[in-house]
A and B are shown apart, each in its own frame.
Chain A
Amino acid sequence: MKLSQASIGQDLPQLDIDITARLIVSGAIASQDFEDVHHDKAAANAKGTPDIFMNILTTNGLVGRYLSDWAGPDSIIKRIKLKLGVPNFPGDTMVLTGTVTAIENQTVEISFKGKNGLGNHVVGTAFIEPKVELND
Protein backbone atom coordinates (compact mmCIF):
# COMPACT_ATOMS: atom_id res chain seq x y z
CA MET A 1 0.00 0.00 0.00
CA LYS A 2 1.16 3.52 -0.67
CA LEU A 3 0.34 6.04 2.02
CA SER A 4 -1.15 8.31 -0.63
CA GLN A 5 -3.76 5.62 -1.33
CA ALA A 6 -5.09 5.51 2.22
CA SER A 7 -7.86 7.90 3.17
CA ILE A 8 -9.73 8.55 6.38
CA GLY A 9 -12.96 6.58 6.47
CA GLN A 10 -11.63 3.95 4.07
CA ASP A 11 -12.78 0.42 4.94
CA LEU A 12 -10.42 -2.55 4.93
CA PRO A 13 -11.84 -5.58 3.11
CA GLN A 14 -13.68 -7.92 5.46
CA LEU A 15 -11.91 -11.17 6.43
CA ASP A 16 -13.94 -14.15 7.66
CA ILE A 17 -12.03 -16.63 9.82
CA ASP A 18 -13.55 -20.02 10.65
CA ILE A 19 -12.79 -20.81 14.27
CA THR A 20 -11.79 -24.47 14.49
CA ALA A 21 -10.16 -26.51 17.25
CA ARG A 22 -7.27 -26.92 14.80
CA LEU A 23 -6.79 -23.14 14.52
CA ILE A 24 -7.03 -22.65 18.30
CA VAL A 25 -4.56 -25.46 19.09
CA SER A 26 -2.08 -24.71 16.30
CA GLY A 27 -2.16 -21.00 17.20
CA ALA A 28 -1.58 -21.75 20.88
CA ILE A 29 1.37 -24.02 20.11
CA ALA A 30 2.87 -21.63 17.55
CA SER A 31 2.72 -18.89 20.19
CA GLN A 32 4.22 -21.17 22.89
CA ASP A 33 1.10 -20.86 25.03
CA PHE A 34 0.45 -24.18 26.76
CA GLU A 35 -2.33 -23.03 29.11
CA ASP A 36 -4.71 -25.99 29.23
CA VAL A 37 -7.82 -23.96 28.30
CA HIS A 38 -6.40 -23.59 24.77
CA HIS A 39 -6.04 -27.33 24.05
CA ASP A 40 -7.92 -29.39 26.68
CA LYS A 41 -11.72 -29.25 26.56
CA ALA A 42 -12.21 -30.95 29.95
CA ALA A 43 -9.89 -28.40 31.59
CA ALA A 44 -11.75 -25.57 29.87
CA ASN A 45 -15.08 -26.98 31.16
CA ALA A 46 -13.70 -27.15 34.70
CA LYS A 47 -12.87 -23.45 34.47
CA GLY A 48 -16.41 -22.59 33.45
CA THR A 49 -16.20 -22.30 29.67
CA PRO A 50 -18.08 -24.61 27.28
CA ASP A 51 -15.07 -25.45 25.10
CA ILE A 52 -11.43 -24.59 24.45
CA PHE A 53 -10.99 -21.01 23.30
CA MET A 54 -8.48 -18.96 21.33
CA ASN A 55 -5.52 -17.43 23.18
CA ILE A 56 -4.81 -13.73 22.93
CA LEU A 57 -1.61 -14.22 20.93
CA THR A 58 -3.48 -16.05 18.18
CA THR A 59 -6.01 -13.23 18.05
CA ASN A 60 -3.06 -10.84 17.90
CA GLY A 61 -1.47 -12.85 15.09
CA LEU A 62 -4.71 -12.91 13.09
CA VAL A 63 -5.05 -9.14 13.53
CA GLY A 64 -1.44 -8.72 12.36
CA ARG A 65 -2.19 -10.85 9.28
CA TYR A 66 -5.34 -8.82 8.58
CA LEU A 67 -3.40 -5.54 8.78
CA SER A 68 -0.44 -6.65 6.69
CA ASP A 69 -2.68 -8.30 4.05
CA TRP A 70 -4.19 -4.87 3.50
CA ALA A 71 -1.21 -2.58 4.07
CA GLY A 72 1.24 -4.71 2.09
CA PRO A 73 4.17 -6.88 3.18
CA ASP A 74 6.67 -4.03 3.49
CA SER A 75 4.55 -1.85 5.74
CA ILE A 76 5.61 -1.65 9.38
CA ILE A 77 3.16 -2.36 12.19
CA LYS A 78 4.19 0.05 14.97
CA ARG A 79 1.59 -0.63 17.60
CA ILE A 80 -1.46 -2.81 18.22
CA LYS A 81 -3.82 -2.04 21.06
CA LEU A 82 -6.67 -4.45 21.60
CA LYS A 83 -9.35 -5.52 24.04
CA LEU A 84 -10.87 -8.96 24.13
CA GLY A 85 -14.59 -9.49 24.60
CA VAL A 86 -16.42 -12.77 24.06
CA PRO A 87 -14.25 -15.84 23.40
CA ASN A 88 -13.58 -17.50 20.04
CA PHE A 89 -14.93 -21.04 20.44
CA PRO A 90 -14.73 -23.82 17.82
CA GLY A 91 -17.63 -23.79 15.37
CA ASP A 92 -17.91 -20.03 15.21
CA THR A 93 -16.77 -17.56 12.55
CA MET A 94 -14.92 -14.36 13.35
CA VAL A 95 -15.49 -11.51 10.91
CA LEU A 96 -12.65 -8.98 10.90
CA THR A 97 -13.44 -5.44 9.73
CA GLY A 98 -11.44 -2.24 9.91
CA THR A 99 -11.53 1.44 9.02
CA VAL A 100 -8.81 4.05 8.57
CA THR A 101 -9.51 6.54 11.37
CA ALA A 102 -6.53 8.91 11.12
CA ILE A 103 -3.45 9.63 9.03
CA GLU A 104 -0.76 11.61 10.81
CA ASN A 105 2.72 12.20 9.43
CA GLN A 106 3.73 8.74 8.22
CA THR A 107 1.34 6.79 10.41
CA VAL A 108 -2.01 5.31 9.42
CA GLU A 109 -4.37 4.61 12.33
CA ILE A 110 -6.82 1.76 11.87
CA SER A 111 -9.74 0.93 14.06
CA PHE A 112 -10.54 -2.82 13.83
CA LYS A 113 -13.08 -5.26 15.15
CA GLY A 114 -13.45 -9.05 15.14
CA LYS A 115 -17.05 -10.12 15.61
CA ASN A 116 -18.31 -13.67 16.13
CA GLY A 117 -21.73 -15.22 16.78
CA LEU A 118 -21.59 -14.21 20.45
CA GLY A 119 -20.60 -10.58 19.93
CA ASN A 120 -17.33 -8.69 19.62
CA HIS A 121 -14.31 -10.93 20.25
CA VAL A 122 -11.75 -8.21 19.73
CA VAL A 123 -11.87 -4.43 19.33
CA GLY A 124 -8.77 -2.32 18.89
CA THR A 125 -6.60 0.25 17.21
CA ALA A 126 -3.45 -0.28 15.16
CA PHE A 127 -0.78 2.09 13.91
CA ILE A 128 1.04 1.28 10.66
CA GLU A 129 3.81 2.97 8.71
CA PRO A 130 4.37 2.23 5.07
CA LYS A 131 7.97 1.26 4.37
CA VAL A 132 9.88 4.15 2.84
CA GLU A 133 11.77 2.82 -0.15
CA LEU A 134 15.06 4.41 -1.17
CA ASN A 135 13.71 5.14 -4.63
CA ASP A 136 10.45 6.69 -3.36
Chain B
Amino acid sequence: MSESHKELDLLRQKFVGQRVGPYYAWNKVSRTQVWQWCAAMGETNPNYLQKSDAVAPPTMLQSWTFRDVHGNYAPDSTDKNTYEVLGELDSLGYVGSVAVSYDQSYHRYLKEGDHVHSFSTIKDISDLKSTGLGEGCFVTEFAEYFDHDDQLCGDATITYLKYKPQQSSKTNRSETAPLKKVGRISPVENHDSKHFWQGLRDGKLLIQECSECQTKRHPPQPMCETCQSLEWQTIESNCFGTIYSYTAIHYPEIPPFDYPNVIVLVDLDEGVRIAAQLEGTQPEKIEIGDRVQAHIKEVQDGLALPIFKVTAK
Protein backbone atom coordinates (compact mmCIF):
# COMPACT_ATOMS: atom_id res chain seq x y z
CA MET B 1 0.00 0.00 0.00
CA SER B 2 1.45 3.37 -0.98
CA GLU B 3 2.11 6.14 1.52
CA SER B 4 -0.76 8.29 0.27
CA HIS B 5 -3.21 5.40 0.54
CA LYS B 6 -2.16 4.87 4.15
CA GLU B 7 -2.58 8.56 4.91
CA LEU B 8 -6.10 8.58 3.46
CA ASP B 9 -6.99 5.40 5.34
CA LEU B 10 -5.93 7.05 8.59
CA LEU B 11 -8.11 10.05 7.79
CA ARG B 12 -11.05 7.77 7.04
CA GLN B 13 -10.67 6.00 10.39
CA LYS B 14 -10.47 9.32 12.18
CA PHE B 15 -13.32 11.20 10.49
CA VAL B 16 -15.78 9.12 8.50
CA GLY B 17 -19.13 8.42 10.15
CA GLN B 18 -18.85 10.86 13.06
CA ARG B 19 -21.86 13.13 13.40
CA VAL B 20 -20.68 16.41 14.87
CA GLY B 21 -22.56 19.48 16.01
CA PRO B 22 -24.52 21.43 16.83
CA TYR B 23 -23.28 24.41 14.86
CA TYR B 24 -25.45 27.43 15.58
CA ALA B 25 -26.23 30.25 13.23
CA TRP B 26 -24.63 33.55 14.27
CA ASN B 27 -27.96 35.25 13.74
CA LYS B 28 -31.60 34.46 13.36
CA VAL B 29 -32.91 34.43 9.81
CA SER B 30 -33.16 38.13 9.04
CA ARG B 31 -34.57 40.22 6.29
CA THR B 32 -31.21 42.01 5.98
CA GLN B 33 -29.32 38.85 5.11
CA VAL B 34 -32.09 37.69 2.79
CA TRP B 35 -32.11 41.07 1.08
CA GLN B 36 -28.33 40.99 0.62
CA TRP B 37 -28.60 37.52 -0.93
CA CYS B 38 -31.43 38.56 -3.27
CA ALA B 39 -29.55 41.70 -4.31
CA ALA B 40 -26.45 39.64 -5.20
CA MET B 41 -28.38 36.93 -7.06
CA GLY B 42 -30.77 39.25 -8.90
CA GLU B 43 -33.60 37.45 -7.12
CA THR B 44 -36.94 39.30 -7.29
CA ASN B 45 -39.32 36.82 -5.69
CA PRO B 46 -41.61 39.11 -3.60
CA ASN B 47 -42.01 36.47 -0.87
CA TYR B 48 -38.33 36.88 -0.02
CA LEU B 49 -38.43 40.66 -0.04
CA GLN B 50 -41.59 41.60 1.79
CA LYS B 51 -41.27 44.08 4.65
CA SER B 52 -42.33 41.63 7.35
CA ASP B 53 -42.59 37.85 7.64
CA ALA B 54 -40.12 37.40 4.80
CA VAL B 55 -39.23 33.82 3.92
CA ALA B 56 -35.66 33.01 3.01
CA PRO B 57 -34.70 31.51 -0.36
CA PRO B 58 -34.29 27.79 0.33
CA THR B 59 -30.98 27.83 -1.54
CA MET B 60 -29.50 29.88 1.36
CA LEU B 61 -29.79 26.81 3.62
CA GLN B 62 -26.11 26.03 4.02
CA SER B 63 -25.09 29.63 4.62
CA TRP B 64 -26.98 30.07 7.91
CA THR B 65 -24.58 28.08 10.08
CA PHE B 66 -21.35 28.99 8.30
CA ARG B 67 -18.41 30.37 10.22
CA ASP B 68 -17.85 34.12 10.32
CA VAL B 69 -15.24 35.92 8.22
CA HIS B 70 -12.53 34.95 10.76
CA GLY B 71 -13.43 31.27 10.65
CA ASN B 72 -15.19 31.25 14.04
CA TYR B 73 -18.35 29.33 14.82
CA ALA B 74 -21.18 31.00 16.70
CA PRO B 75 -21.34 30.76 20.51
CA ASP B 76 -22.58 27.47 22.01
CA SER B 77 -21.51 25.54 18.90
CA THR B 78 -19.49 22.39 19.39
CA ASP B 79 -15.75 23.03 19.42
CA LYS B 80 -15.25 20.13 17.04
CA ASN B 81 -14.50 21.44 13.58
CA THR B 82 -16.34 19.53 10.89
CA TYR B 83 -13.82 20.84 8.37
CA GLU B 84 -10.80 19.54 10.34
CA VAL B 85 -10.51 16.80 7.73
CA LEU B 86 -10.06 19.48 5.06
CA GLY B 87 -7.29 21.06 7.16
CA GLU B 88 -5.53 17.71 7.48
CA LEU B 89 -5.74 17.27 3.71
CA ASP B 90 -4.23 20.77 3.36
CA SER B 91 -1.26 19.64 5.45
CA LEU B 92 -0.80 16.63 3.16
CA GLY B 93 -0.48 19.04 0.22
CA TYR B 94 -4.06 18.91 -1.06
CA VAL B 95 -4.49 22.63 -0.53
CA GLY B 96 -6.86 23.24 -3.44
CA SER B 97 -10.52 23.02 -2.56
CA VAL B 98 -13.60 23.13 -4.77
CA ALA B 99 -17.15 21.97 -4.24
CA VAL B 100 -18.16 19.58 -7.03
CA SER B 101 -21.68 18.44 -6.23
CA TYR B 102 -24.62 19.35 -4.10
CA ASP B 103 -27.87 17.54 -3.33
CA GLN B 104 -30.20 19.50 -1.08
CA SER B 105 -33.69 18.72 0.13
CA TYR B 106 -35.75 21.54 1.60
CA HIS B 107 -38.37 20.30 4.05
CA ARG B 108 -39.69 23.73 4.84
CA TYR B 109 -38.77 27.29 3.91
CA LEU B 110 -37.16 29.26 6.73
CA LYS B 111 -38.85 32.44 7.92
CA GLU B 112 -37.59 35.63 9.47
CA GLY B 113 -36.80 34.88 13.13
CA ASP B 114 -35.96 31.18 12.71
CA HIS B 115 -32.77 30.22 14.52
CA VAL B 116 -30.97 27.41 12.74
CA HIS B 117 -28.43 24.87 13.92
CA SER B 118 -26.82 22.07 12.01
CA PHE B 119 -25.06 18.75 12.39
CA SER B 120 -22.48 17.42 9.98
CA THR B 121 -21.21 13.94 9.14
CA ILE B 122 -18.27 13.11 6.87
CA LYS B 123 -19.70 10.27 4.80
CA ASP B 124 -16.77 9.37 2.59
CA ILE B 125 -13.18 10.17 1.68
CA SER B 126 -12.40 8.75 -1.77
CA ASP B 127 -9.21 7.17 -3.02
CA LEU B 128 -6.77 9.40 -4.88
CA LYS B 129 -8.03 10.44 -8.31
CA SER B 130 -6.43 12.26 -11.22
CA THR B 131 -8.52 15.31 -12.07
CA GLY B 132 -8.21 18.25 -14.43
CA LEU B 133 -7.14 20.42 -11.49
CA GLY B 134 -4.58 17.97 -10.14
CA GLU B 135 -4.37 14.81 -8.08
CA GLY B 136 -6.75 14.73 -5.18
CA CYS B 137 -9.60 13.07 -3.34
CA PHE B 138 -13.31 13.69 -2.92
CA VAL B 139 -14.72 14.36 0.54
CA THR B 140 -18.47 13.92 1.00
CA GLU B 141 -20.29 15.68 3.83
CA PHE B 142 -23.90 15.20 4.93
CA ALA B 143 -25.37 18.18 6.75
CA GLU B 144 -28.72 18.41 8.57
CA TYR B 145 -30.37 21.71 9.41
CA PHE B 146 -32.82 22.14 12.29
CA ASP B 147 -34.90 25.04 13.50
CA HIS B 148 -35.11 26.19 17.15
CA ASP B 149 -37.82 23.56 17.78
CA ASP B 150 -35.42 20.86 16.58
CA GLN B 151 -37.53 20.24 13.50
CA LEU B 152 -35.52 19.17 10.46
CA CYS B 153 -35.95 21.89 7.83
CA GLY B 154 -33.43 20.71 5.27
CA ASP B 155 -30.45 18.51 4.53
CA ALA B 156 -27.60 18.53 2.05
CA THR B 157 -25.02 16.14 0.71
CA ILE B 158 -21.99 18.11 -0.46
CA THR B 159 -18.91 16.73 -2.19
CA TYR B 160 -15.64 18.64 -2.24
CA LEU B 161 -12.50 17.95 -4.22
CA LYS B 162 -9.27 18.51 -2.30
CA TYR B 163 -6.36 18.60 -4.74
CA LYS B 164 -2.67 19.32 -5.22
CA PRO B 165 -2.59 22.29 -7.59
CA GLN B 166 -0.64 21.62 -10.77
CA GLN B 167 2.30 23.95 -11.23
CA SER B 168 2.32 23.42 -14.97
CA SER B 169 3.37 25.96 -17.56
CA LYS B 170 -0.25 25.93 -18.68
CA THR B 171 -1.36 27.27 -15.32
CA ASN B 172 1.32 29.96 -15.37
CA ARG B 173 0.28 31.10 -18.82
CA SER B 174 -3.35 31.27 -17.90
CA GLU B 175 -2.62 33.56 -14.95
CA THR B 176 -2.03 36.47 -17.27
CA ALA B 177 -4.10 35.42 -20.27
CA PRO B 178 -7.60 36.81 -20.53
CA LEU B 179 -10.41 34.28 -20.38
CA LYS B 180 -10.34 32.39 -23.66
CA LYS B 181 -13.54 30.74 -24.73
CA VAL B 182 -13.25 27.32 -26.27
CA GLY B 183 -13.84 27.55 -30.01
CA ARG B 184 -14.25 25.11 -32.88
CA ILE B 185 -11.15 23.60 -34.40
CA SER B 186 -10.48 25.44 -37.63
CA PRO B 187 -10.32 23.31 -40.76
CA VAL B 188 -7.08 22.94 -42.70
CA GLU B 189 -7.36 25.15 -45.77
CA ASN B 190 -5.03 24.13 -48.58
CA HIS B 191 -4.72 24.57 -52.34
CA ASP B 192 -7.45 21.98 -52.93
CA SER B 193 -10.00 23.09 -50.34
CA LYS B 194 -9.52 26.81 -49.75
CA HIS B 195 -12.20 27.72 -52.31
CA PHE B 196 -14.81 25.86 -50.26
CA TRP B 197 -14.07 27.63 -46.95
CA GLN B 198 -13.63 31.01 -48.65
CA GLY B 199 -16.93 30.45 -50.45
CA LEU B 200 -18.66 29.95 -47.10
CA ARG B 201 -17.06 33.12 -45.75
CA ASP B 202 -18.52 34.87 -48.80
CA GLY B 203 -21.93 33.37 -47.98
CA LYS B 204 -21.90 30.71 -50.73
CA LEU B 205 -21.96 26.92 -50.58
CA LEU B 206 -19.70 25.95 -53.48
CA ILE B 207 -19.62 22.57 -55.20
CA GLN B 208 -16.80 21.47 -57.47
CA GLU B 209 -17.68 20.53 -61.06
CA CYS B 210 -15.34 18.79 -63.49
CA SER B 211 -14.55 21.02 -66.48
CA GLU B 212 -14.23 18.00 -68.78
CA CYS B 213 -17.17 15.73 -67.93
CA GLN B 214 -19.29 18.05 -65.69
CA THR B 215 -19.42 15.50 -62.84
CA LYS B 216 -20.04 17.29 -59.55
CA ARG B 217 -18.08 16.32 -56.44
CA HIS B 218 -17.83 16.96 -52.72
CA PRO B 219 -15.81 17.08 -50.47
CA PRO B 220 -13.18 19.05 -52.39
CA GLN B 221 -10.53 16.99 -54.17
CA PRO B 222 -8.01 17.80 -56.92
CA MET B 223 -9.03 15.18 -59.49
CA CYS B 224 -12.28 14.07 -61.08
CA GLU B 225 -12.90 10.46 -60.08
CA THR B 226 -14.83 9.82 -63.31
CA CYS B 227 -12.45 11.15 -66.00
CA GLN B 228 -9.29 11.94 -63.94
CA SER B 229 -9.28 15.52 -65.16
CA LEU B 230 -7.49 18.06 -62.96
CA GLU B 231 -9.54 20.91 -64.43
CA TRP B 232 -12.51 22.08 -62.39
CA GLN B 233 -14.75 25.01 -61.60
CA THR B 234 -17.35 25.66 -58.92
CA ILE B 235 -21.09 26.09 -58.98
CA GLU B 236 -23.11 27.66 -56.17
CA SER B 237 -25.57 25.35 -54.39
CA ASN B 238 -29.09 26.59 -53.79
CA CYS B 239 -28.66 25.04 -50.29
CA PHE B 240 -31.69 22.72 -50.52
CA GLY B 241 -31.48 18.98 -50.02
CA THR B 242 -32.79 15.80 -48.43
CA ILE B 243 -31.58 14.03 -45.28
CA TYR B 244 -29.75 10.85 -46.27
CA SER B 245 -28.78 9.95 -42.69
CA TYR B 246 -28.07 11.59 -39.34
CA THR B 247 -26.60 11.04 -35.90
CA ALA B 248 -27.10 12.85 -32.59
CA ILE B 249 -24.26 13.31 -30.12
CA HIS B 250 -25.45 13.50 -26.52
CA TYR B 251 -22.36 12.84 -24.44
CA PRO B 252 -19.75 13.96 -23.60
CA GLU B 253 -20.74 17.62 -23.99
CA ILE B 254 -17.79 19.45 -25.50
CA PRO B 255 -17.77 23.24 -25.81
CA PRO B 256 -18.70 25.21 -27.84
CA PHE B 257 -21.45 22.93 -29.21
CA ASP B 258 -25.05 22.78 -28.03
CA TYR B 259 -26.48 19.38 -27.20
CA PRO B 260 -27.89 17.12 -28.45
CA ASN B 261 -25.65 17.95 -31.39
CA VAL B 262 -27.24 16.67 -34.60
CA ILE B 263 -25.00 15.94 -37.58
CA VAL B 264 -26.74 15.23 -40.89
CA LEU B 265 -25.67 13.77 -44.21
CA VAL B 266 -27.60 15.74 -46.80
CA ASP B 267 -28.06 14.90 -50.46
CA LEU B 268 -27.99 18.36 -52.00
CA ASP B 269 -30.33 18.93 -54.94
CA GLU B 270 -27.26 19.46 -57.13
CA GLY B 271 -26.36 15.79 -56.61
CA VAL B 272 -23.58 15.69 -54.02
CA ARG B 273 -23.65 14.61 -50.37
CA ILE B 274 -22.45 16.87 -47.53
CA ALA B 275 -22.01 16.43 -43.76
CA ALA B 276 -23.09 19.37 -41.59
CA GLN B 277 -24.88 20.39 -38.42
CA LEU B 278 -28.66 20.54 -38.17
CA GLU B 279 -30.36 22.96 -35.77
CA GLY B 280 -33.89 23.53 -34.59
CA THR B 281 -35.23 19.95 -34.56
CA GLN B 282 -34.88 17.43 -31.73
CA PRO B 283 -33.29 14.13 -32.88
CA GLU B 284 -36.46 12.11 -32.21
CA LYS B 285 -38.39 14.32 -34.63
CA ILE B 286 -35.96 13.88 -37.52
CA GLU B 287 -36.71 11.42 -40.31
CA ILE B 288 -34.58 10.25 -43.18
CA GLY B 289 -35.95 11.92 -46.29
CA ASP B 290 -36.87 15.19 -44.56
CA ARG B 291 -36.32 18.23 -46.74
CA VAL B 292 -33.72 20.65 -45.38
CA GLN B 293 -32.24 24.03 -46.21
CA ALA B 294 -28.80 25.34 -45.25
CA HIS B 295 -28.09 28.83 -43.99
CA ILE B 296 -24.49 29.98 -44.08
CA LYS B 297 -23.57 31.13 -40.60
CA GLU B 298 -20.35 32.66 -39.26
CA VAL B 299 -19.88 30.40 -36.22
CA GLN B 300 -16.72 32.17 -35.08
CA ASP B 301 -14.21 34.69 -36.43
CA GLY B 302 -13.08 33.56 -39.87
CA LEU B 303 -15.14 30.36 -39.94
CA ALA B 304 -18.51 30.10 -41.69
CA LEU B 305 -20.43 26.83 -42.00
CA PRO B 306 -23.63 25.62 -43.63
CA ILE B 307 -26.17 24.90 -40.87
CA PHE B 308 -29.27 22.98 -41.93
CA LYS B 309 -32.85 23.33 -40.78
CA VAL B 310 -35.77 21.03 -41.59
CA THR B 311 -38.19 22.74 -44.00
CA ALA B 312 -40.66 19.93 -44.71
CA LYS B 313 -41.33 16.37 -43.60
Contacts and interface: CB of A to CB of B under 8 A. Distances in A.
Decide if A and B are genuine partners: yes
Interface of A: 17, 23, 26-27, 29-35, 37, 45-51, 55-58, 60-65, 68-69, 73-74, 76-84, 87, 89-92, 115, 117-120
A27 B109 contact: no
A1 B71 CA distance: 41
B47 interface: yes
Given A48-B96, A55-B99, A82-B101, A76 B175 contact: no
A82 B175 contact: no
B15 interface: no
Contact of A32 (B43, B63, B255): B63
B58 interface: yes
A48 B179 contact: no
B105 to A, nearest CB: 5
B183 to A, nearest CB: 9
A5 B57 CA distance: 24
A70 B178 CA distance: 34
Interface residues of B, number: 54
A82 B63 contact: no
A79 B58 CA distance: 9
Given A30-B36, A56-B99, A77-B59, 10 more contacts: A31-B63, A32-B67, A56-B102, A56-B158, A57-B63, A60-B104, A64-B58, A68-B45, A117-B181, A118-B182
Contacts of B40: 23, 26-27, 29-30, 58, 61
Contacts of A37: 97-98
Contacts of B68: 32
Contacts of A17: 42
A78 B179 contact: no
A9 B255 CA distance: 24
B66 A32 contact: yes
14 contacts: A30-B33, A30-B39, A31-B66, A48-B165, A50-B171, A50-B177, A58-B40, A61-B60, A73-B47, A77-B59, A81-B101, A81-B103, A83-B102, A119-B255
B95 interface: yes
B101 A84 contact: yes
Contacts of B104: 60, 79-81
B151 interface: no
B299 to A, nearest CB: 14
Given A26-B39, A50-B177, A77 B103 contact: no
Interface string B83-127: 000000000000111111111111001000000000000000000
Which 4 residue pairs are nearest across A and B when measured between Cβ atoms?
Answer: A117-B181, A48-B165, A64-B59, A56-B99
A61 B37 contact: yes
A57 B43 CA distance: 14
